[in-house]
A and B are shown apart, each in its own frame.
Chain A
């Protein structure tokens, strides 16, 4: 049996909430965040088409590089930071353990 992976959502500076989920169900980070009660719209259902699951990775393990589609979507948003990612494009694997992120405001 695989162990749950733990990620941390920074809701305010210094205030982090741990969320965890299984790595053997093919879930995306967006699905974990939604299932954990975070207000993520994910309008397009995880196809990197709407930008409404935009997060900023603050710390933690290195992630795979974003695909061209993900980068193009991020570039079309009004705000993008060095750590910007679409959470729907990040698979929940053991490698994510310890990741720290924050949700980007919905209008960005």
Chain B
């Protein structure tokens, strides 16, 4: 079990969570950042890394991915630590007022304040509507992401989807698995043209089965998956024996466990006091798209502002007797931790 000790535990490594590290650093507060995704950047990295953003002050336009890289450079002096690829599950409050935040994989983060910067929530796999699919989850043959490719060595696999993930894993697993069948509802692929070409070449070389204009519609097995039914758009159905079925239809955000933390919520968002973006639980703050208040605008720009005020609030919560005077980076430069 990993155990980490820090001043602020920031939940969410999107742009607002990353900028909160900077603002906390100016106040000499240490941060640990947790995110369910395996990389930093949140929506910017996951959904539109190559899209330009036009409303970041000082940047007439900047690619989302570049903004994330710049934010990472900006927070380097503060040496934040990260737990990536683990979803936060819950927290408990200790007698001294500090918190222990726990992740789904058992990591514990002891902190004096929590800043929820979870955007629209954690990104969860988009699951196809197939009856009894969930009964084959958790190691019984249905996987929504490839954590360890070795799991699939010498297996018969069916991968479903038409995006980058489906194409990339088809290419990778073709050399590892006994048999790979890629099932796609359409006839063209949304993923990179180069990857689509590679999949077609593997198909022509007999290393990948390509089933287009079709869906996986049923899963079968008794405790363990043993076959899937593939139904073509014309209604023809075929049952195919498999060891694993990997539907890769991208990710969709869910508010997730934070919904059950007992915080005041409104319309699936956390209600905050705009004085310092504190929630209904002292010591827990919420910034960015996950919060709500009168006049809320879901803009990165506004999240940055919220991060600055939140850190002032966190400082006062952590050091109630300490006097803080605002220092300008133009005068004092950027301190290091």
Contact = CB atoms under 8 A, between A and B. Distances in A.
B188 A78 contact: no
A41 interface: yes
Nearest to B165: A76
Contact of A78 (B43, B129, B268): B129
A75 B191 CA distance: 11
A36 interface: no
Interface stretch (B120-128, B172-180, B223-231): B120-128
B interface bracket (residues with beta carbon within 8 Å of A): 20 to 34
B129 A105 contact: yes
A17 interface: no
Contacts of A44: 43, 47-48
Interface string B174-201: 0000000000111010100000000000
B249 interface: yes
A21 interface: no
| Secondary structure dominating the interface of A | loop
A100 B51 CA distance: 32
A76 B252 contact: no
A76 B183 CA distance: 11
Interface stretch (A25-33, A46-54, A91-99): A46-54
Contacts, number: 63
Given A43-B43, A105-B129, A76 B190 contact: yes
Interface of B: 43, 47-48, 51, 120, 126-129, 160-163, 184-186, 188, 190, 215, 247, 249-250, 252-253, 268
25 contacts: A41-B252, A41-B253, A43-B43, A43-B47, A43-B253, A44-B47, A44-B48, A49-B48, A50-B250, A50-B252, A51-B126, A52-B253, A73-B190, A75-B162, A75-B190, A76-B190, A76-B249, A76-B250, A77-B126, A77-B250, A78-B126, A78-B129, A79-B128, A108-B126, A108-B128
